């Protein structure tokens, strides 16, 4: 009678542990899915729009130096060298915390009829060859005197803060999922293994260890 009651109690405990393990695993998966969904639908578009707006503002601010050079009265070769120096100076601007450059690539296309430059300097490209993760901004260049379009400067800009936040969010989601599944896995496997028993219970080891079984020897009478 006692063995049957202990067996029923043990089966109920194992079933309860297994159900709790499944519940915790599902809650962890659900929490991870909610975090990922909130990031994809809300946080990432907002941060991306803000980073793109900052990149456009930064690119427009750098074109003032180019327009100043175009107004100067320089010889074509000297003007080409000055423009290259200005573009290289923009590429050297970096984020202080990460050391990543703000602008990765610049392409400058100038009107050959309005700007006197050597033929090989009318289309200038400086920086890296490709930048798939950069924000592309096209800024028109105007002659301040005649208000004519003299060229277009295209900037490939990166956003180090946005990249850091995106990487941190990915790591956080992965860590949350691993932590939830990892905390539930030991309970599930322990409840699934044969011969296991709840902590602090002597029911699972009563037969394996005779000292756990109730003593059948009669107590000495006084």
Nearest Cα to Cα of residue 105 among 82, 83, 136: 136
pLDDT at residue 189 above 60? no
Mean pLDDT of 186-204: 46
pLDDT at residue 175 above 90? no
Indicate the average pLDDT of the chain: 75
Within 46-145, strands assigned E span 103-110, 123-127, 135-142
Residue 207's Cβ-count burial label (10 Å; 0-12, 13-18, 19+) is exposed
- For 89-107, write each residue's pLDDT tens digit: 999 998 887 788 889 999 9
Q: What pLDDT score does 185 carry? A: 58
Higher local confidence (pLDDT), 222 or 135: 135
Q: What pLDDT score does 105 carry? A: 93
């Amino acid at each position: 009678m006692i063995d049957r009651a202990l067996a029923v109690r043990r089966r109920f405990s194992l079933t309860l542990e297994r159900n709790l393990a499944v519940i915790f695993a599902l809650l962890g998966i659900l929490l991870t899915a909610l975090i990922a969904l909130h990031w994809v639908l809300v946080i990432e578009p907002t941060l991306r729009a803000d980073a793109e707006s900052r990149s456009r503002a930064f690119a427009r601010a750098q074109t003032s130096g180019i327009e100043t050079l175009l107004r100067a009265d320089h010889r074509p070769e000297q003007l080409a060298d000055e423009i290259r120096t200005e573009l290289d100076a923009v590429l050297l601007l970096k984020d202080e915390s990460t050391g990543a450059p703000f602008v990765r690539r610049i392409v400058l296309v100038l009107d050959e009829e309005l700007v006197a430059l050597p033929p090989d300097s009318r289309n200038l490209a400086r920086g890296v060859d490709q930048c798939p993760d950069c924000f592309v901004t096209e800024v028109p260049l105007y002659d301040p005197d005649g208000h004519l379009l003299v060229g277009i400067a295209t900037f490939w800009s990166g956003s180090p803060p946005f990249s850091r936040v995106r990487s941190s969010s990915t790591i956080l989601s992965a860590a949350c999922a691993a932590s939830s599944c990892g905390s539930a896995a030991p309970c599930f496997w322990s409840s699934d293994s044969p011969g296991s028993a709840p902590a602090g219970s002597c029911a699972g080891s009563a037969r394996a260890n005779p000292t756990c079984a109730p003593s059948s020897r009669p107590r000495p009478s006084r």
